[in-house]
Amino acid sequence: MLLSMFVSDIMISHDLKEAMMAQFVVRNVESAVKVRLQRRARRNGRSMEEEVREILRSAVSEEDVPAAGLGTEIASLFAKVGLVSDIPELRGHEIKPATFEP
């Protein structure tokens, strides 16, 4: 393991970075799934291994998306400041574009 210091920053060697990464072995993947992964990887210009990594990154980043809709999120913000009346549902109303006078 090679560790070197430059000013106050610590630079870690490439070998050490690789040692800190997790590895997964996935068994019993259906042939059809493997073929689709290969096609997807080829379409995106990546190896199948990199494509799987990208799929995993994307899947865990979706966890940061609120589970409820935008309206529910807004209502929860107002609930914290004491809004007690219901916010009316807007589904089914005709959408009209804004008009501006010159």
Is the pLDDT at 3 greater than 70, yes or no?
no
- Answer whether residue 85 is part of any domain: no
Answer whether residue 40 is part of any domain.
yes
Q: CA dist 57 to 4, 23, 64, 67, 82, Å?
A: 30, 14, 12, 18, 38
pTM: 0.46
- Give the mean model confidence (pLDDT) for residues 74-84: 75
**Residues 78, 86: contact at Cβ < 8 Å?**
no
* 3 within domain boundaries: no
Average pLDDT rounded to a whole number, residues 75-90 = 73
| Residues 45-57, mean pLDDT to the nearest whole number | 93
Q: How much is the average pLDDT of 12-16?
A: 56
User: Is 30 among the domain residues?
Assistant: yes
Tally of structural domains, the chain: 1
Confidence (pLDDT) at 64? 67
- Asked, for residue 11, whether it belongs to a domain, the answer is no
Question: Which position has the higher pLDDT, 63 or 9?
Answer: 63
β-bridge partners, 4: 11
Distance CA 2, CA 61 (A): 32
Q: Whole domain around residue 26: which residue ranges?
A: 19-59
Residue 32 lies in a domain: yes
Give the pLDDT band (50/70/90) at residue 18. Answer: low
Residue 29's pLDDT band (boundaries 50, 70, 90)? very high
Residue 75 maps to a domain: no
Are the C-beta atoms of 13 and 3 separated by less than 8 Å? Answer: yes
- Residue 55 is assigned to a structural domain of this protein: yes
Q: At what angle do helices 31-43 and 48-61 cross, to 10 degrees?
A: 90
Does position 28 have pLDDT exceeding 90, yes or no?
yes
